[in-house]
Amino acid sequence: MPLSPEQARAELDRLWSRGTAFLGCEFAIMGGAMSWVSERHLVSAISNAGGFGVIACGAMTPDLLAKEIAGTQALTSKPFGVNLITMHPQLLDLVAVCTEAKVGHIVLAGGVPNGATIKAVKDGGAKLIAFTPALSLGKRLVRSGADALVIEGSEAGGHIGPVSLTVLAQEILPHIRDVPIFVAGGLGRGEAILAYLEMGASGAQLGTRFAASKESIAHPNFKKAFVRANARDAIPSVQLDEMFPVIPVRGLVNEGTKRFLRHQAETAAKFHAGALDKEAAQLAIEHFWAGALRRAVIEGDVETGSVMAGQSVGMVTAEQTTAEIIAELVAQATAALIARSGG
């Protein structure tokens, strides 16, 4: 018998009930933490629309983070989280800022959190969310105290791992049931979120679609680049010489990505000719993109800046409000449930 719209919505609510209960929101849709983008305006908008916004702390100092949290709290009374990079030199101070501000959820990213950081988060009363790129590490993080996990596929924008979400979900979801798991990477439609919920996920994390939303402070040029782009335009940075590793970052192809290839080739040639030592050559390659994300997001330089975007960028067809994006995702998931029931 076909499901009614109300029954389909009730079924969706059941499927992600573990995620909504954990996050304390209506829809188990987290905002990905994107540097320069995931600040008070976008984070509060996502939370106010029933999702779960997450501040991207990035390289902020403790004082700056405290101001960003207070600014977000002034714009929403709903729950939101803070994403901290484990390599930050003041990590424990940042955790203390979150504790002082009574932030309910802390996301630790960019590396495996150490015992002292995990203890500080837990002692402060926050729930700890961690990223895992593999089943074995996921199990270890749960044993160490992680309250939830995010598995992010290589389809995502920004810094990425080598494995797709499709594979990670099959590897991890059937085997870790102790904590809620949120899926991320390449998600742009509700039907896809529904499929992962039915595999055992508790919710989803989206970044690219929210980056181009009306509440995002990203420059109009940045948003227009998203609307124009196709999935195939979002590619990882390329490493030319195995002697000089390049951390893979997915973004839109532009003049900057082409220059980076030339810069790598020229730098490697100087090293092999003896004009640069290995350390200087590696630093020259690593520093190429310094400030490039800010140039793209804030200043609108989408030609030489770093336009980080996931492969779901092809599903960004217009600048929508966060509420419209979330409502569309929910409508797509419920329509899929109705269609499958014969409706």
What CATH number corresponds to the domain at position 55?
3.20.20.70
Same domain, 22 and 41: yes
Quick check: is 166 in a domain?
yes
Same domain, 265 and 179: no
Instruction: Give the model confidence (pLDDT) of 86-131 as tens digits.
Output: 999 999 999 999 999 999 999 999 999 999 999 999 999 999 999 9
3-state secondary structure of 255: helix
- Domains of the chain: total: 2
Sheet holding 158-159, edge to edge: 158-159, 249-252, 234-236
Same domain, 249 and 206: no
Same domain, 151 and 117: yes
Same domain, 113 and 96: yes
Quick check: is 65 in a domain?
yes
3-state secondary structure of 55: strand
Q: Return all residues near 253 (Cβ < 8 A) that are at least 6 apart.
A: 233, 235
Same domain, 99 and 176: yes
Q: What is the pLDDT of residue 170?
A: 98
Quick check: is 267 in a domain?
yes
Instruction: Provide the whole-model pTM.
Output: 0.96
Q: What is the pLDDT of residue 343?
A: 78
Tokens 């988060």 belong to residue: 121
Please report, in tens digits, the pLDDT of each residue of the chain (343 residues total).
899 999 999 999 999 999 999 999 999 999 999 999 999 999 999 999 999 999 999 999 999 999 999 999 999 999 999 999 999 999 999 999 999 999 999 999 999 999 999 999 999 999 999 999 999 999 999 999 999 999 999 999 999 999 999 999 999 999 999 999 999 999 999 999 999 999 999 999 999 999 999 999 999 999 999 999 999 999 999 999 999 999 899 999 999 999 999 999 999 999 999 999 999 999 999 999 989 999 999 999 999 999 999 999 999 999 999 999 999 999 999 999 999 998 7
Quick check: is 225 in a domain?
no
Same domain, 136 and 207: yes
Same domain, 81 and 122: yes
Same domain, 277 and 330: no
Quick check: is 332 in a domain?
yes
Q: What is the pLDDT of residue 203?
A: 98
Same domain, 162 and 282: no
Q: What is the pLDDT of residue 249?
A: 95
Same domain, 33 and 167: yes
Q: What is the pLDDT of residue 1?
A: 82
Structure tokens at 5: 């719209």
For residue 208, which of 182, 230, 238, 191 has the smallest C-alpha distance? Answer: 230
Quick check: is 263 in a domain?
yes
Around Cβ 311, how many Cβ atoms within 10 Å?
A: 25
Quick check: is 13 in a domain?
yes
Same domain, 154 and 255: no
Give the separation between CA 189 and CA 171, rounded to whole angstroms. Answer: 22
Q: What is the pLDDT of residue 176?
A: 98
Q: Domain range spanning residue 281? A: 230-308
